[in-house]
Structure 1
Amino acid sequence: MGVPTTTHQYSYPELGSYDNLVLNEVPRAAPKPHEVLVRTRAVSLQFRDLLIANRQYPSPVVPNLVPCSDMAGEVIAVGEDVKTWKAGDRVCANFFLDKLNDEQTPETDASALGGAVHGVLTEYRTFPAHALVAIPSHLSYEEASTLPCAALTAYNALLCGYAPLKAGDTVVVQGTGGVSLFALQFAVASGATVIATSSSDDKLKAAKEHGAAHIINYRTTPDWDREVLEITGGVGADRVIEVAGNATLQRSINSVKLGGSIDIIGLLGGAGDVPPVDIIVPTIFRSLKIRGLYVGSVPQFHNMNKLIAANASTTRPIVDRVFPFAEAKAAFAYLASQAHVGKVVIKL
């Protein structure tokens, strides 16, 4: 059976809500000499996808956007100049198609899937050969689809920053979304101690099951920063993975030790809903390392997959729920409900 000449894909004729998603059948592109044609097997959703749908994302997106950045799939065909891939290979595409080293440039930003360029919520898509990485052999397509954004962001934060995480460090992870759970798993695999926060006891139970040494319900313990200091004997945590932005940044600053690190990777608490935090004084007088990061590079993806393969049980992606392709809107709605622990995936 030959490869179809068309592909079914979702797109936004107009942004404003994920309810605006429309499923269309369009001509399938053939791979150029340096490209690879991939059949999408699974797509995982990000909070970013909701921001884009609701016109809340700070960067411009292409018209009639095909959404989503994270996929896993099977190589169907390769361009004549491609030597690194063959039909049947299992691959993920990097979030930034052209980020081949750790330098962020306007050009790498312009290659962000599901925003600056069309995304992966489609049956077939071509990718530059250099943007693909092999899926660890023990992972399913659904599990592997969670790696390009959530996992790589967590890996970049903990192991590619000012100093790599080391055994014995204490890490605070906020919530039980994709990035936070991957950060928990990578920290545990590295021999660190994890303090997990959430507003749900059920979600905290899940964090405990996946290796968190300490848990804090920030609804019943709103001064969770004081609890972190109590747990660490007044010293503070070595690292904080900050996913909520200004809504929790002050408490993150309060809870980290002198000379500690805060990796800012999200704004789940809202981009402009809370006043900004003054970081200048504590950064100077407490010698804090505050780092913003935006996913990661292809080489980091390769290195992360080595960690995942070497720690298969500890780092196995946590997939909360899988939706069929025909129910993509329901998957977006479930993500928006924040009822999930781990990742929400669409299976093709």
Structure 2
Amino acid sequence: MKFEKMMKQWVIQGKKGIESLKLQNVPIPSPGDYEVLVKFHAASLNYRDIVIANGTYVWTTRDGIVPGSDAAGEVVQAGPKVTRFSVGQRVSPIFHLKHLYGSFDERYFPSSLGAKHDGVFRQYAVYNEESCVEIPSNLSYREAATLPCAAVTAWNTLYGGPRKLKPGETVLAQGTGGVSIFALQFAKMGGAQVIATTSGPEKADRLKVERADHVINYKEDPKWGETAKKLSHRGQGAHYIVEIGGANTMVQSSKAVAIDGQISVIGRRAGPQGESGESGDAHSTTMHTVRRILVGSRQLNEEMISAIEVNDLKPIIDSRTFHLDELKEAYAYFETGQHFGKVVLDID
């Protein structure tokens, strides 16, 4: 197969938000013995990409890093000792390239795409064959590009810990970002009741279309945690809470959670004031477990992919589309919070 010699890629230089993004032309890399060269067809954004560009990410990042962690493409070259994949297979790199199975270990941090290791907002990339998964057979490249971070995080939240979601339990998902929407989909797939929170009527209507059993407008209801508990099956509270807001949303989450329930801490999007607009002891109301989520392993990724195929689940993609050249515009749109589901970039 004949290849071009150069490719486009974005890098982050400095910590000035969108203005830190710089488009480059660089040589296409060549795979080693155990590596594959992947040509990307689509990628998607996460909130993490925004805070990395702003310089407010919780961990340090390398200047000049290629941003982005979620993409899907095809293997166009394979090293002579590669056995997991062949040319033409559709693949995605996993989020932490070294986290293959088991619990997360800090030694995996340097392999995180888009922060410590060059990410996916580019046309081609080389990966060790062990760091990739075959994408679901029922999904397009655009759909599969939404999975590596947000979907695996949601799957890990519900099915990856010592306590796994059971039919008939209740899940509370905060907001309409990628992780929360995937949590809604995976929870309904598993026979759970889902309560969702959002900030406006349009998104509330969309959540109902996606089969949320109850939707609470947290701007109109500052005590949404108490409301969620009342709405839960038999008033037991939520057995799983997808906690993406921050310190003060934890206050309401603790009021919504069931006894022996689990609050999965994923983000801090609401900032220091939180959505609830109140302070207090987040652990004072009931007994629960707080579990910190850092995406998930390749094993969890592959289990999720099987479930997606068997159930023919389709990721929710925002109606706005962007090309790789329009990454700055995509960042600006993502920052407005107007999106519903995943914001996707078309790369080719």
**DSSP 3-state at the match of 2:111:** coil
Which residue of structure 1 aligns with residue 296 of structure 2? 296
Which residue of structure 1 aligns with residue 91 of structure 2? 91
1:209-220 correspondence runs (5 A): 209-220=209-220
Contact 2:122–2:324 under 8 Å retained in 1: no
Which residue of structure 1 aligns with residue 328 of structure 2? 329
Q: CA deviation at 1:105?
A: 2.1
**DSSP 3-state at the match of 2:102:** coil
Q: Distance in 1 between matches of 2:294 and 2:280?
A: 20
Q: Distance in 2 between matches of 1:305 and 1:173?
A: 21
Contact 1:246–1:277 under 8 Å retained in 2: no
Farther-moved stretch of structure 1 (7-16 vs 145-154)? 7-16
Q: CA deviation at 1:152?
A: 0.2
Deviation per CA, 1:118-150: give whole Å up to 9, x if none.
Answer: 111111100110011111111111110000000
Instruction: Give aligned-pair identity as a percent.
Output: 39
Letter in 2 for 1:129: E
Pairing 1:244–2:252 present? no
1:94-113 correspondence runs (5 A): 94-113=94-113
Contact 1:62–1:118 under 8 Å retained in 2: no
Q: Distance in 2 between matches of 1:335 and 1:276?
A: 28
Contact 2:9–2:123 under 8 Å retained in 1: yes
**DSSP 3-state at the match of 1:323:** strand
Which residue of structure 1 aligns with residue 308 of structure 2? 308
Letter in 2 for 1:237: A
Task: Provide closer, same or farther for how the CA distance between residues 110 and 278 of structure 1 changes in structure 2, counting only shifts above 3 A.
Answer: farther
Which residue of structure 2 aligns with residue 6 of structure 1? 6
Which residue of structure 2 aligns with residue 119 of structure 1? 119
Q: CA deviation at 1:322?
A: 2.0
Letter in 1 for 2:252: R
Deviation per CA, 1:91-112: give whole Å up to 9, x if none.
Answer: 0110001101123223211100
Contact 1:249–1:277 under 8 Å retained in 2: no
Q: CA deviation at 1:278?
A: 4.1
Please give the TM-score of this superposition, normalised by the length of structure 2: 0.95
Query: Which residues of structure 2 form unaligned runs of 5+?
Result: none
Q: Distance in 1 between matches of 2:183 and 2:38?
A: 29
1:260-275 correspondence runs (5 A): 260-270=261-271, 272=272
Letter in 1 for 2:237: G
Farther-moved stretch of structure 1 (179-188 vs 76-85)? 76-85
Contact 1:199–1:217 under 8 Å retained in 2: yes
Q: Distance in 1 between matches of 2:289 and 2:300?
A: 21
Letter in 1 for 2:341: G
Q: Distance in 1 between matches of 2:228 and 2:104?
A: 33
Q: Distance in 1 between matches of 2:303 and 2:279?
A: 35
Letter in 2 for 1:193: Q
Deviation per CA, 1:162-220: give whole Å up to 9, x if none.
Answer: 31101100111111110000000000000000001101111111111111011111111
Which residue of structure 2 aligns with residue 343 of structure 1? 342
Which residue of structure 2 aligns with residue 32 of structure 1? 32
1:50-65 correspondence runs (5 A): 50-65=50-65
Q: Distance in 1 between matches of 2:240 and 2:44?
A: 27
Q: Distance in 1 between matches of 2:40 and 2:336?
A: 26
Contact 2:249–2:270 under 8 Å retained in 1: yes
Q: Distance in 2 between matches of 1:63 and 1:218?
A: 37
Q: CA deviation at 1:247?
A: 2.8
Q: Distance in 2 between matches of 1:251 and 1:259?
A: 16
Contact 1:74–1:87 under 8 Å retained in 2: yes
**DSSP 3-state at the match of 2:86:** coil
